[in-house]
Chain A
Amino acid sequence: MAKYLLLKHYRGAPASVNDVPMDQWTPEEISAHVQYMSDFAARLEKGGELVDSQALAPEGTFVQYGGEGRPPVTDGPFAETKDLIAGWMIIDVDSYERAVELAGELSAAPGAGGRPIHEWLELRPLYDAQPTLTDCPWK
């Protein structure tokens, strides 16, 4: 029982195999892709493995503490930022192997020509809520 984040990038991940921008797909291919994503989330929930699924707007603002008594400083968006997150899924699974398997399925979402995109997804473990009690020598 461990939680993992499946991170989808707009930019920053290595290029996928079927690397065609979405606006050059056919409308049917876009529909098929959207359907695949929502079916995937529904299947995860049915399997008791879904924690969260969110998509992010591409443009954001950078915000910084402005100092005592001053408003926060805002900046951006920066068009040149290398790493841009598109969205994520959080899954709760029995093993790392299962997390990899699910990420592989998500990466098979269809793109141009109805062929799998083979998109690179980033898989990151979430920290456990708190230390495991009995396995640790110094507790």
Chain B
Amino acid sequence: MNESLLRSLTPGVLGVLVRRGADFVAAEDAVQDALIEAVRVWPADPPRDAKGWLVTVAWRKFLDATRADTARRRREGLVEEEPEPGPAPATDDTLQLYFLCAHPSLTPSSAVALTLRAVGGLTTRQIAQAYLVPEATMAQRISRAKRTVSLVRFDQPGDVATVLRVLYLVFNEGYSGDVDLAAEAIRLTRQLAASIDHPEVAGLLALMLLHHARRTARTAPDGSLVPLAEQDRGRWDTSAIAEGVAILQVALARDRLGEFQAQAAIAALHADAPTAEETDWVQIVEWYDELAGLTDNPVVRLNRAVAVGEADGPRAGLAALTALDDSLPRHTAVAAHLHERDGDLELAARLYAEAAHKAPNLAERAHLTRQAARLNTRRSH
């Protein structure tokens, strides 16, 4: 059985239950129970209509749970008259569910967890493993999130930007445990793109595909980080790149530029270069200028300084860097890189070591320490 196909039916099924009048908290539990039963029953007895099967089973589970819950006895009036299944507006339900799970009343971590469960159909255990927290903690996080949004009207129009931020967070988490969160983020963004015609949704999908295409080339067999310029471009996933570029081109043609489209355009220019030397840095700087006009995120200006260093030389890059707050994450690492290209190896080595000290994770710390060691070894010979 294809688990991601099964999980792709989750939002539609949940949407049907909620539209039939089930409250969100109980409906979401019922859908999870139905998914677990499907995993158990389908291999031996596959249904003809998978979604219909899930709706029937989830609805029954919802009714059972509601009847059992004496505190909810008043709901029985509702459950006696079983509504017509009817033609469910599947796409619309899916979209509403994305909005609900990314509702601004939720903290980012709650929105992420709820999206993965209610839209993605992952179990609490899988989400807990992916985020390296105990299952009991994740269960509480999800149930709090469900209670928070249970009072939100399901048919309220939402903001696509909040949904995109949640999906972006999931993508950046990468993978740990048995769930590949980057792949899951791509699946969820693809599903969202099928529900709504919006250039920024397309932009985010393109951005994810273009980054994901480089994933295997980004780490060496020993787990160490391989920088973009040194990656074996033969290991990039060309079909993912082609798909990302095609999606981006259609989005850009709409002439409603947004942050994710601009980021994807930069990723596409990197993906398009047959060698690192052939990278079109001048165009990349132009895209960073566009991006800086769309967001005040200082990371954009930092990355722009790197691009300026490549397009106009390290002195120009360093000049762009001086305008920025040196407490920015990776500021010191960028300074080290530019000073090395400018030929000041002693200063570069010192800055790499300092950057390693401030690195946000082990892989980057090891990478930056190696850069410092490489320069120190070279200078002592």
Contact = CB atoms under 8 A, between A and B. Distances in A.
A132 B172 contact: yes
Contact of A127 (B108, B218, B337, B360): B360
A38 B255 CA distance: 57
Among B138, B172, B211, the most chain A Cβ lie within 10 Å of the Cβ of B172
B303 A1 contact: no
Contacts of A14: none
B137 interface: yes
Interface in B55-101: none
Contact of A139 (B132, B144, B218, B307): B218
A108 interface: no
Contact of B361 (A50, A51, A94, A127): A127
Given A1-B131, A1-B169, A51-B137, A138 B108 contact: no
A89 to B, nearest CB: 12
A131 B132 contact: no
Nearest to B309: A137
B207 A92 contact: no
Given A45-B140, A48-B138, A133 B227 contact: no
B142 to A, nearest CB: 7
Contacts of A3: 132
A1 B108 contact: yes
Contacts of B211: 133-134
B364 interface: yes
Contacts, number: 100
B171 interface: yes
Interface string B124-145: 0000000111101110111010
Contacts of B225: 131, 139
Given A136-B330, A137-B334, A138-B337, A130 B174 contact: yes
A129 interface: yes
Given A48-B140, A92-B137, A133 B174 contact: yes
Contact of B110 (A44, A48, A136, A139): A48
Interface of A: 1, 3, 44-52, 92-94, 127-139
26 contacts: A1-B109, A3-B132, A45-B140, A46-B144, A47-B140, A48-B138, A48-B144, A51-B132, A92-B132, A93-B109, A94-B107, A94-B108, A127-B361, A130-B174, A130-B176, A130-B363, A131-B360, A131-B363, A133-B182, A134-B168, A134-B172, A134-B207, A136-B330, A137-B303, A138-B228, A139-B218
Given A1-B131, A3-B132, A134-B171, 11 more contacts: A44-B137, A48-B109, A93-B109, A129-B132, A129-B173, A133-B172, A133-B174, A135-B299, A137-B334, A138-B228, A139-B218
